[in-house]
Amino acid sequence: MKLNRYSDQTPPILLIVFNRPELTARLLDRIKIACPKVLYVACDGPRPGRQDDQEKICRIHSMIAAIDWCKSVKTLFQPVNLGCGRGESTAMSWFLNDAGEGIILEDDTLPDISFFKFCGEMLDRYRETTNVMQVSGYNYLSGRYETDSDYLFSQCGFSWGWATWLRAWKYYDYTMKSWPDFKKMGYHRVFPFTQVSSHIFDLAYNGQVDTWDYQWNYVRAANSGLSVVPKFSLVENIGFGMDGAHNVSSAAGKPFKAMVHPMSFPVKHPQFIFADKYYDQMLIRVVEEGGFGMRIRRFVASLLNRNR
């Protein structure tokens, strides 16, 4: 399926890149098919003392400068390295403050082409539905959870290829300053919060992990926000085991592989805007039981070793 040039079906896209030109080139080829009118590109600066970063980033900058298939390309190239957390959250704020809504893709994600149209329809359909805060492209339970509609609503939701609105992102707080009060009131013991997720939020609050997404997961859950989740995953994460930004091993990432299947149109919508508790319970059970909880802890440990 090829969309028309400068397709009105494709929302603005933010591409977040760093030091992986091969993955960036692969993702740009996919975005080119979707033909967005506006492409935003954010690239962090090189790490101190890393000449290889500088060389790879220069290659990426040249790729962006050569784009001739997009009506407008806007760039945010950082002169110094801000890291995964500050760098990416700063890029998202820059993007959403300008575009108002859109798709966010990191260089280690590879979306099916139907992902772009799906996000466009969801952004339009739920633009004024304030409790819907995210459109996910990735579904860990892809093909393992039965539902009559083509997507569902979840209190969870991944951000490997996703879309959102400025009205939702305004809740974002990198410092998670409300987390101690949230715990004091005992809300961290209420579903969908778990012992594992609370530990992760503790790490993020204390600055022990350089990331942005745990903060986003927290603020969504703390505001009873819902994620749109496709029945089948529309995005693949291709970055595990690759040298570069996140430095997460193939072994740590293997459990997160999910079957990718194109979305069919017209989309069959759920009857109600209501969290599918059975999906959420299954997701948390699969993630945290049967020895998988240990894998999650190892995955978190690998994230602690990110060295951007």
Sign (positive or negative) of CA dihedral 159, 291, 275, 144: positive
Express each pLDDT in 136-149 by its tens digit.
999 999 989 999 99
Q: Other C-beta atoms within 10 Å of 146: how many? A: 8
pLDDT of residue 165 exceeding 50, the answer is: yes
Write down the domain spans for the chain.
13-304
| Cβ atoms 174, 215 nearer than 8 A | yes
Using a pLDDT cut of 90, give the percent of the chain over it. 79
Please name the residues in contact with 308: beta carbons below 8 A apart, sequence gap of 6 or more: 18, 44, 47, 81, 83, 84, 87, 210, 245
Whole-prediction pTM value?
0.90
Using a pLDDT cut of 70, give the percent of the chain over it. 85
The CATH fold of domain 13-304? Spore Coat Polysaccharide Biosynthesis Protein SpsA; Chain A (3.90.550)
Express each pLDDT in 36-59 by its tens digit.
999 999 999 999 999 999 999 999
Burial of residue 228, with CB atoms counted within 10 A of its CB: 0-12 exposed, 13-18 middle, 19 or more buried: buried
Sign (positive or negative) of CA dihedral 298, 300, 302, 305: negative
| Cβ atoms 149, 269 nearer than 8 A | yes
